[in-house]
Structure 1
Amino acid sequence: MGKDVVMWIAVAGLALLCLALLATLVVSRRAWSRDAHAAHAELGDLRGRVEALEHAQGATPRTSVPTEYLITGLGGTPEPDPAPPERIDGTVFADTVLRETVVKAASLAHGVRRGLAPATRNRIRFEMKQEVRRSRKQRRTDLKAAQRDLHARERRTMTGEAS
């Protein structure tokens, strides 16, 4: 009897969860629909404005601006404009994207494998030890210099008070 109650509670919880998800979906769908209608109305208004501006510009005479020419070559025949790139098929695009992704994943795996190689780890460990030793030596040098400076100040204050 206890297992049946637990099962019914679980089913009721899942049903409530599905109901909440459905309500969220309906609310978001309505908000999206309102936004889409507002965008379409604004687009229609903007198209009307653009047409009015184009009509107004067509009625007024345009002033000509002198054109400056730039000579980029001497003689010869001008090269034709390159043709626009052709549209590629969806399968070709997917294949290209997949290949690029595989190449990136393989290079990442190679870099991780190389970075975690024992030789690399040993080199890093060696350089870390060297850096620790260098920093200890630098701290000792700084400490000695600070102590010398402190002793020199103490001597100056003692000689200044004694005289």
Structure 2
Amino acid sequence: MVEEWSLPVWAVVAAAVALLVLLAVTLVLGVTAARGRRRAEQAAARARVEAEELRARVEAVEQRLLASDAPPATRPAEEYVITRVGDLDAPDGAGPAAADRAPVVPAPLFADVVLRESVVQVGSLAAGLRRALAPETRNRVRFEVRREVRRSRKQRRADQRAARRDWEARRRAAEPSPEAGAA
């Protein structure tokens, strides 16, 4: 007995495979989303715990400040230079080294930031040079320089004429007039 199918076998198999792939992708995405959700919940829980610890430390500092009986007016009028901030729980104020608490940027991220910044600076320098060395910019600068030279020459000549007039007026004022000698 010969069975005739209305669809080719390969189309049915391809649809089944596509359905299985779609199901697998959906399952993987669901698992990934669940993991991400769990990580976010764990991070939020850690943040809450840290916030509570910080709140407790702030309250302890406030209690110490309120408990001090020395009025501010009796404190010495000396100046202090703070060179470091120590751990408040340590008796001598010394805490962990600053290098231990400093945030560390991963090397690939640091290299990426440095390279991006360098590329931006080089690009802006190239654009500035291209604009500065453009023919229209050079012609405009040449025109402005010529105009400034002409203006300064005019000003120098005017100053020279004014100085000459002033000098001649002083000389005439210093000379005795012939009419004053005849009287």
Bin for the TM-score computed over the shorter chain: 0.3 to 0.5
Q: Which has the larger radius of gyration?
A: 2
Larger % of helix: which?
Answer: 1
TM-score by length of structure 1 reads: 0.45
TM-score by length of structure 2 reads: 0.41
